[in-house]
Amino acid sequence: MSFHVDSSLLSALPYLSESSGIGIYPPAGWLSADSSHLFPQGINEQLYREMKAVFYSPETECMLLIQDFPLADTTLVKQITENPAAWYNADSTWTSVMSDTFTYKGFNIQQFVLQNPQLVVFKLFVLSQPGITELNYLVQPGVGPETMKSVESSIGSIYSLTN
C-alpha cells in the first residue's frame, strides 16, 4: 500500500503512543479536543475513557479518534475481519461496510470503511508489537478533496518510534 503524504497538510506535532510504539501526524488545522463538547452526555464518559486522543476540524466537522490497546492481541481483529458486517452493521446503520488488509512501513493494518449518507468512517487497526492502535477518521460524505488528501497524508504519516 502506498500513500501520497503532503506534509503541508499535517499538524506540526505528532501524536505519540509510547505504549504501542507509533507516532502519527493529525491533519493540519485539526484541534486537540475534549470529548465533552463532541459527544452526547452519557456517551462521552464511557467512550472518552478509552480514547487516547481526539482531533477535530471546526471547519469540516471531521474527527480523528485514537485508541491504544497496548496489551491486546490480534484475535478480536481477526474475528471482525471474518465478518465485518456482523460487528459493525448489525443494526443496519451503514449502507456499505468494506475491509482491507495491508502492510505499510512494516505495520500490518486492518482497515474498515463504514459508509452511510451522513458519515464515512475510516477505521484502521494498526497491529504493532505489542498491542494495537485504532485510528478512526470520521468525515462527512462529499467533503472536499483537500480534506481527503489531509486524511490520506495523516494515515501515511504513521511511523515507528523505535526505528
Would you give per-residue pLDDT tens digits along the chain (163 residues)?
789 999 999 999 999 988 778 899 999 999 987 655 555 555 545 455 566 888 999 899 899 999 887 667 777 777 777 877 777 767 778 888 888 999 999 899 999 998 999 999 999 999 877 778 899 999 998 899 999 999 999 999 999 988 6
Q: Report pTM.
A: 0.86
Q: CB neighbours (10 Å) of residue 33? A: 18
Distant-in-sequence, close-in-space partners of 123: CB < 8 Å, separation ≥ 6: 88, 111, 112, 113, 114, 134, 135, 136
Q: How far apart are CA 106 and CA 160, in angstroms?
A: 9
Distances, alpha carbon 131 to alpha carbons 10, 24, 68, 77, 110, in Å: 25, 16, 8, 11, 14
Q: Please, what are the domains in the chain? A: 7-160 (3.40.1000.10)
Q: How far apart are CA 103 and CA 120, in angstroms?
A: 22
